């Protein structure tokens, strides 16, 4: 089931009304990433205010999720002696069949879900359609006139929750950010049609249709299902590949299906079809009714014809779902933004919740998460459809800027700041580094340049470690370093000044920094280095596109949202233990020695421990400041490792992507964490894209940039962590730009209306021809007529679909990251020992000995849409 955006607060308000002291606590499952962490902070703040008990459980991957289902969620079920309850999934499980993975859905069983209601809030796409349009508990049939009638859920229509919905029965509920209702009409119709379709076994004796059926089977991959956890190497050793279905998140398939389309975790009522037996049941769903004539009643098609029609109809619907899953990975609205929308509907907005939202939204860009999956940005940020999330990202950022202005009005005091706003440093292009007063905790807009941790580093180090500057100035080479020094010299900043802490730099240099950057940025191709500003220094309700967000904690600290996102991410990826080892110039090797387990269980437990450190740091400024050295250490390692890889020419260009391997050097242990390795891959990807642009004048792969695969050695476990990043492109295309998609939808509807008259005319001509054949050939023409009608209908349908496909070809899925699909295909085709446990499906673990064969097979796959 899915909850439309217009009813976002409905379930929470019901929880608030029905909660009492004996109610079970709300269980919150949280992914180990900054956006989910910020969303969790917002939700727990709401629950605390309403005195609703809750408990948080960090989830490192699918293995942890399955374990939580077995040990925590199943005992909550009424059939297991529990009392039901609510489970909230933040960033976990959106891509897999949650009912099957958690073990709370026994298909067709009235005891399914047992009063456990699972809320799913996730930014990853594609959705598992079984969660979106299924996930409905089975109600016991009622007897009426001596017959058992299946009950239907009040308030649920086609998987969509209506205002009359009554919770407490359990089920899976996906929170829609608007995309499901506006973009998945075809997928919903296909899914519901498959659920309602009668069970029909394929008959190989159908000589007329066997060839067509076999071709259709080949056209639909049998095991390219997204959201599945592949069998780990420990289970694959000594076992056949075909047994790996037991060790992955399941997406159920119908028993009569030739392709693995995910089925509903709990099938809705059959809408009366299952109560009809014999050929008439098939005819009611698959045949086209023909108006009887007084002279001769129409003949019913044969069972064989109906079976073939039904199989073709089923394959057509399955192909719609398979096409959706094959689009590739993408990201939609962040979790923290959805949680802030919930707080806004409840009237609970404040600066603390707004700041959590801003940090969560900003962190998405740090990890390259966009409408084309994990990828670098290959377009200028001045373009309305570029950067993180394209047009939708711009709208969300503008809404956040409006909220900052609303919740942080100018102070009504006699201070110079309020009497003359033009004196504010940020309105004069100066980066604010201090609070306005000892009690100042406000959020401000700031013209942040694309430097890294500038308030906590020297200007030189901040520029040196900026991924944006590194790519465009070629920082990895001696020529690039000299170019950076020359830029600073042109700006009139000496190396002595720029290498001391930025907060202690000469005030005149800081005041003129912005103007100098604007003056020389075009000369060095740094068009987007500094955001635009109001010419007169005053904010007259301008858009302030590209401006960042800054918050102060009195005199203790002033940090930007990007600073907080970088630090929290470093805590999750490196850990607080590493801080103590920085004085020794390296990563804490004791941590690595503790995690020598084969399947990564201890490593996952260590990551969960880091989660709590990051959770506390989000609301404790002293913890954030203490973790700053960790963030600086991680980004120094990214610069060192990336520079070494490029200088030593370790990047290989394979058929479908470029690749490199990180297996030696002082920082190898840092990149055993997938998120840290992803940041390194994005840094290298930016450099490759800039090299392509300079050498060829354009990006490869049709302007989308060349995809990149980076493998990092985890020597203690004998595996490589492999991450695949896209080259960017796509901008606001696909599901990210709701406005463009809505316009496309309107055009499609206009075309369909225009074709309806054409179809009616064709149907009239067919009817006349059919009557003429019947009169001439008698009964023998009956089956031939049915075949002709079916073929003509399919021809018309393919004609229509072809027109629509031509229109969508350059929009849906363009430039998306398809590494997740490619990884799964390679696993099915080879004997490589691979473990897919990360919620980010473009991240896998491969046994050390199998990496070469894995990459060779991967090079033959389509990795970007």
pLDDT for 745 = 60
d(CA 410, CA 766): 74
pLDDT for 751 = 73
d(CA 620, CA 283): 66
pLDDT for 757 = 75
For 583, the token pair is 């004085």
What mean pLDDT do residues 214-234 have? 41
What mean pLDDT do residues 655-668 have? 89
The per-residue pLDDT for range 599-612, each reduced to its tens digit, is: 667 887 888 889 99
pLDDT for 264 = 35
At 77, which helix (H) or strand (E)? none
Q: Is the pLDDT of residue 576 over 60?
A: yes
pLDDT for 744 = 57
Angle at 100 between CA 96 and CA 101, to 5 degrees: 60
The per-residue pLDDT for range 139-162, each reduced to its tens digit, is: 777 777 767 677 777 888 889 999
- Is residue 96 within 8 A of residue 128, CB to CB? The reply is yes
Give which of 353, 350, 345, 351 is closest to 38, Cα–Cα. Answer: 353
Q: Is the pLDDT of residue 288 over 50?
A: no
pLDDT for 865 = 64
Q: Is the pLDDT of residue 813 over 90?
A: no
- Is residue 121 within 8 A of residue 175, CB to CB? The reply is yes
Confidence class for position 351, pLDDT limits 50, 70, 90: very high
Confidence class for position 221, pLDDT limits 50, 70, 90: very low
User: Does residue 561 sit in helix, strand or coil?
Assistant: helix
Q: Cα dist. 637→206, 269, 582, 625, 644 in Å?
A: 64, 57, 12, 20, 10
User: What is the average pLDDT value for the chain, to the nearest integer?
Assistant: 78
What mean pLDDT do residues 243-267 have? 36
Name, in order, each residue with C-beta under 8 angstroms of 407's C-beta and a sequence gap of 6 or more: 349, 350, 351, 354, 443
Q: Is 398 left (phi over 0), alpha (psi -120 to 50) or beta?
A: alpha
What mean pLDDT do residues 666-683 have? 93
What mean pLDDT do residues 279-306 have? 54
pLDDT for 700 = 56
Confidence class for position 761, pLDDT limits 50, 70, 90: confident
Least confident piece of the model among 83-97, 105-119, 409-423, 728-742: 728-742
- Is residue 573 within 8 A of residue 675, CB to CB? The reply is yes
For the chain, what is the total number of helices (H) and then of strands (E)? Answer: 32, 23
pLDDT for 537 = 43
Q: Is the pLDDT of residue 414 over 60?
A: no
pLDDT for 188 = 94
Q: Cα dist. 546→359, 382, 530, 747 in Å?
A: 15, 8, 8, 33
Higher pLDDT, 391 or 821: 821
For 645, the token pair is 């890889």
DSSP string spanning 303-339?
HHHHHHHHHHHHHHHHHHHHHHHTT-BEE-S-HHHHH
pLDDT for 271 = 33
How much of the chain exceeds pLDDT 70, in percent? 72
Full-model pTM: 0.80
Domain limits, the chain: 1-343, 737-798
Confidence class for position 441, pLDDT limits 50, 70, 90: very high
pLDDT for 777 = 61
The per-residue pLDDT for range 3-49, each reduced to its tens digit, is: 999 999 999 999 999 988 888 999 999 999 999 999 999 999 999 99
d(CA 379, CA 383): 7
What mean pLDDT do residues 333-359 have? 95
Q: Is the pLDDT of residue 550 over 90?
A: yes
* Residue environment code for 160-176, b if the CB has 16+ CB neighbours within 10 A, otherwise e: bbeeebebebbbbbbbb
Confidence class for position 108, pLDDT limits 50, 70, 90: low
Q: Is the pLDDT of residue 569 over 90?
A: yes
pLDDT for 703 = 52
Confidence class for position 276, pLDDT limits 50, 70, 90: very low
Name, in order, each residue with C-beta under 8 angstroms of 842's C-beta and a sequence gap of 6 or more: 329, 373, 374, 723, 724, 725, 817, 819, 820, 823
pLDDT for 681 = 94
The per-residue pLDDT for range 454-492, each reduced to its tens digit, is: 999 999 999 999 999 998 899 999 999 999 999 999 988
Q: Is the pLDDT of residue 315 over 60?
A: yes
DSSP string spanning 1-21?
-EE-GGGTTHHHHHHHHH--T
pLDDT for 543 = 66
pLDDT for 353 = 96
At 600, which helix (H) or strand (E)? none
Q: Is the pLDDT of residue 165 over 70?
A: yes
d(CA 7, CA 164): 11
| φ, ψ (nearest 5 deg) of residue 803 | -65, -45
d(CA 157, CA 152): 10
């Amino acid at each position: 089931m899915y909850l439309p955006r217009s009813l976002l607060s409905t379930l929470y308000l019901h929880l608030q009304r029905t909660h009492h002291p004996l109610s079970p606590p709300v269980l919150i499952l949280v992914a180990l990433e900054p956006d989910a962490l910020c969303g969790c902070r917002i939700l727990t703040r709401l629950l605390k205010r309403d005195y609703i008990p809750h408990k948080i459980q960090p989830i490192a991957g699918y293995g942890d999720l399955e374990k939580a289902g077995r040990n925590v969620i199943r005992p909550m079920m009424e059939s297991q002696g529990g009392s039901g309850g609510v489970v909230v999934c933040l960033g976990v499980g959106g891509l897999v069949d949650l009912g099957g993975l958690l073990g709370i859905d026994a298909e067709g069983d009235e005891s399914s879900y047992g009063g456990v209601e699972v809320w799913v809030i996730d930014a990853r796409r594609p959705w598992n359609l079984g969660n979106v349009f299924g996930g409905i508990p089975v109600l016991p049939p009622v007897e009426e006139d001596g017959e058992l009638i299946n009950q239907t859920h009040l308030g649920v229509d086609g998987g969509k929750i209506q205002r009359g919905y009554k919770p407490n029965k359990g089920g899976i509920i996906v929170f829609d950010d608007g995309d499901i209702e506006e973009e998945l009409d075809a997928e919903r119709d296909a899914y519901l049609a498959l659920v309602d379709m009668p069970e029909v076994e394929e008959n190989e004796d159908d000589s007329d249709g066997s060839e067509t059926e076999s071709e259709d089977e080949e056209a639909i991959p049998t095991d390219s299902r997204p959201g599945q956890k592949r069998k780990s190497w420990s289970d694959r050793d000594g076992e056949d590949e075909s047994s790996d279905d037991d060790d992955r998140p399941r997406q159920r398939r119908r028993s009569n299906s030739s392709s693995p389309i995910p089925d509903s975790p709990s099938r809705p009522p059959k809408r009366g079809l299952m109560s009809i037996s014999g050929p008439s049941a098939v005819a009611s769903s698959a045949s086209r009714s023909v108006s009887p004539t007084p002279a001769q009643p129409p003949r019913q098609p044969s069972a064989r014809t109906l079976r073939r029609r039904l199989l073709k109809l089923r394959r057509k619907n399955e192909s719609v779902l398979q096409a959706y899953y094959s689009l590739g990975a993408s990201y939609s609205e962040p979790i923290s933004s959805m949680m802030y929308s919930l707080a806004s509907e409840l009237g609970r907005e404040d600066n603390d919740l707004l700041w959590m939202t801003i940090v969560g939204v900003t962190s998405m860009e740090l990890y390259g998460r966009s409408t084309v999956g994990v990828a670098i940005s290959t377009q200028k940020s001045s373009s309305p459809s570029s950067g993180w999330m394209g047009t939708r990202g711009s709208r969300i950022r503008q809404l956040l800027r409006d909220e900052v202005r609303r919740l942080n009005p100018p102070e009504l005091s006699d201070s110079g700041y309020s009497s003359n706003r033009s004196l504010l440093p940020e309105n004069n292009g100066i980066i604010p580094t201090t609070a306005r007063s000892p009690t100042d905790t406000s959020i401000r807009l700031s013209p942040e340049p694309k430097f890294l941790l500038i308030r906590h580093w020297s200007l030189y180090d901040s520029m040196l470690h900026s991924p944006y500057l590194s790519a465009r100035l070629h920082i990895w080479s001696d020529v690039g370093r000299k170019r950076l020094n020359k830029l600073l010299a042109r700006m009139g900043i000496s190396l002595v000044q720029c290498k001391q802490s930025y907060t202690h730099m000469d005030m005149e240099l800081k005041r003129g920094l912005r103007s100098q950057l604007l003056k020389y940025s075009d000369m060095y191709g740094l068009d987007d280095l500094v955001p635009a500003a109001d010419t007169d220094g005053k904010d007259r309700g301008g858009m302030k596109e590209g401006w960042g967000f800054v918050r102060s904690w009195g005199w203790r600290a002033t940090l930007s949202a990007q600073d907080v996102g970088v630090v929290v991410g470093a805590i999750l990826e490196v850990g607080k233990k590493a801080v103590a080892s920085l004085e020794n110039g390296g990563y804490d090797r004791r941590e690595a020695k503790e995690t020598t387990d084969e399947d990564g269980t201890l490593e996952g437990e260590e990551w969960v421990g880091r989660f709590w450190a990051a959770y506390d740091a989000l609301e404790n400024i002293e913890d954030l400041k203490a973790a700053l050295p960790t963030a600086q250490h991680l980004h120094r390692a990214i610069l060192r490792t990336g520079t070494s890889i490029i200088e030593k020419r370790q990047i290989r260009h394979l058929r479908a992507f470029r690749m490199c391997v990180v297996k030696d050097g002082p920082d190898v242990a840092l990149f055993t964490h997938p998120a840290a390795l992803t940041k390194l891959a994005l840094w290298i990807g930016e450099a490759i894209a800039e090299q392509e642009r300079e050498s060829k004048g354009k990006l490869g792969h049709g302007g989308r940039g060349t995809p990149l695969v980076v493998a990092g050695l985890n020597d203690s476990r004998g595996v490589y962590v492999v991450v695949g990043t896209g080259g960017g492109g796509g901008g606001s295309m696909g599901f990210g730009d709701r406005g463009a998609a809505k316009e496309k939808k309107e055009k499609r509807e206009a075309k369909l209306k225009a074709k309806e008259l054409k179809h009616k005319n064709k149907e009239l001509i067919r009817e006349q021809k059919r009557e003429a054949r019947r009169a001439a050939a008698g009964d023998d023409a009956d089956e031939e007529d049915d075949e002709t009608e079916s073929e003509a209908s399919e021809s018309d349908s393919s004609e229509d679909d072809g027109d629509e496909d031509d229109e969508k070809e350059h929009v849906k899925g363009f430039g998306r990251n398809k590494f997740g699909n490619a990884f799964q295909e390679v696993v099915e085709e080879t004997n490589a020992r691979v473990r897919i446990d990360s919620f980010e499906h473009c991240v896998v673990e491969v046994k050390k000995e199998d990496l070469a064969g894995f990459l060779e097979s991967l090079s033959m796959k389509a990795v970007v849409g």
